[in-house]
Amino acid sequence: MRLLLKVLMLALAVGLVQMSGAGAADAACVVEYKARKGPPLQLHYGVIALPDGACARKAQLPALVQKRIGRDGWTLLVILSARQADPGRLRELRRRAGKYFLRY
Contact indicator for 33, 78 with CB cutoff of 8 Å = yes
User: Coil, strand, or helix at residue 48?
Assistant: strand
Picking from 88, 94, 18, the residue whose alpha carbon sits closest to that of residue 49 is: 94
Cα separation, 16 vs 78, whole angstroms: 30
Whether the per-residue pLDDT at 20 is higher than 80: the answer is no
User: Percent of the chain beyond pLDDT 90?
Assistant: 65
Whole-number mean pLDDT of the chain? 82
The model's pLDDT over 43-94, given as tens digits with 9 standing for 90+, comes to 999 999 998 889 999 999 999 999 999 999 999 999 999 999 888 889 999 9
- The amino acid sitting at 36 is R
Query: How many Å apart are CA 24 and CA 70, to the nearest integer?
Result: 28
pLDDT: which is higher, 71 or 14 = 71
Amino acid 27: pLDDT: 63
CA atoms within 13 A on the CB side of 97: 25
pTM to 2 decimal places: 0.73
Contact 84, 26 (CB under 8 A): no
- What is the distance between the alpha carbons of residues 33 and 29, in angstroms, rounded to a whole number? 13
